[in-house]
Amino acid sequence: MFKKILVANRGEIALRIIRAARELGIRTVAVYSEADEASLPVLVADEAVCIGPPAANGSYLHVRNLLSAALVSGCEAVHPGYGFLSENAEFARKCEEHNLVFIGPRPETIEKIGDKASARLLAREAGVPLTPGSDALDGVDAARSFAEKVGYPVMLKASAGGGGRGMRVVHTPDDLERQFVNASEEARSAFGNPEMYLEKYLEEPKHVEIQVMGDGQGGVVHYYDRDCSIQRRYQKVLEEAPSILPDDLRTRIAASAVGLAASINYRGAGTVEFLVDKHGDFYFSEMNTRIQVEHPATEMVTRKDLVAEQIRIAAGEPLSCSQADIVIDGHAIEVRINAEDPEHNFRPTAGVITDVHWPGGPGIRVDSHVYAGYRVPPNYDSLLAKIIAWAPTRSEAIERMSRALRETVIEGVATTVPFHLEVLGNGFYRKGDVYTNFIARRLGR
């Protein structure tokens, strides 16, 4: 097992990794920008290294600074968390070149499956169902030709995309060129790669993802599914585990995910994402080669520590459990508490948190780096916390989460707590009638 690892991230995921490492007896080194000097991960870690100015491209995205911090502090491995460089194959490769273990998939795996167009080819070879879609497009004319073949509406997607960036729904031929240019420029800005591809757009599908873990030798287990259908502008805001699916459909989706991961000798934690239509047909969407923001929902219903398993596998240990050892117990809901104002089009709100009180009681978990007096910087994602509620049934989990949110106090900045209470109180949500445009259709947001 490693003696010391670098946590190449910030916020709640950095703190989550530090806690898992500490329970494994591993010392941790936090990195921080000048804006995060007083952040909780910096205060909790065994050591901390400043890696640059507040701007992410000078700190959390600066490969040389991260590698220098790891080498100077004597780390053996680097955990990238999610976001930033977590799915950057070049960063993973640089870690290996400097004799640092990258706690994640191999660089070549990230390249193959992280590129959305390439991932579709791998999924097709593995026999995973695909929505009608193109390979990488070489321009607007190619996009127009494919769209005419499969019919409108279609979805433009960035080959290197994620987090909803570089995605556009196109309903008419007249709108295709404008949307293509806008999406490719957004992709270039966000990922440094403007390449696009097209998929047939499914009306009101569920977004279901399967959590997998591989040993890098073809051995793969799954931790069942999560429903991530509650999204705003393609950004997930609330997740639950398991999904509302018939058991036979759940089994088939999970088998497809495991088959894909095994076919590429996947190593570490990954998530295979699918769209499920009203007829119960499912289609591969993408595979994320990292731990997900919503992983705690899965941990709550399986009683497994996914981050600790990531670290063990990276250290060369085998999978700690067989598929038969992984069972679902109850239902979990996770909400993302962001520093955003729902009453003003979810405008980000930076500032000092003057008071905070997190909920407690049976079945409640809070993952957060926030404390009273913490200054929310304007430089990064607005996520403040994740509140997770577990209960024996979905209806009980809804009531428990509602109770927890009403207990939550965050003063000094506007947050999305009231918005989540609105979702949980919606009759369609309560009966499980959810799909990816639920927020726009049912809440008008």
Nearest to 5 by CA among 81, 75, 105: 75
**Residue 438 is which amino acid?**
F
**Distance (Å, rounded) from C-alpha 164 to C-alpha 168?**
9
Yes or no: say if 120 and 135 are a contact pair by the CB < 8 Å rule: yes
**Distance (Å, rounded) from C-alpha 393 to C-alpha 134?**
41
- Tell the residue number behind the tokens 């959305």, with chain if given: 116
- Tell the residue number behind the tokens 């700190």, with chain if given: 59
**Distance (Å, rounded) from C-alpha 220 to C-alpha 410?**
41
**Distance (Å, rounded) from C-alpha 258 to C-alpha 266?**
10
- Catalytic residue flag (residue 290): yes
Which listed residue (226, 290, 365, 442) is catalytic?
290
Opening angle at CA 275, ends 271 and 281, nearest 5: 120
- φ, ψ of residue 162 to 5 degrees: the values are 170, 160
Q: From the centroid of its chain, how far is CA 423?
A: 20
**Distance (Å, rounded) from C-alpha 8 to C-alpha 1?**
19
Distance spanning both ends of the chain, measured CA to CA: 48
Yes or no: say if 194 and 212 are a contact pair by the CB < 8 Å rule: no
Residues labelled as active-site residues: 290
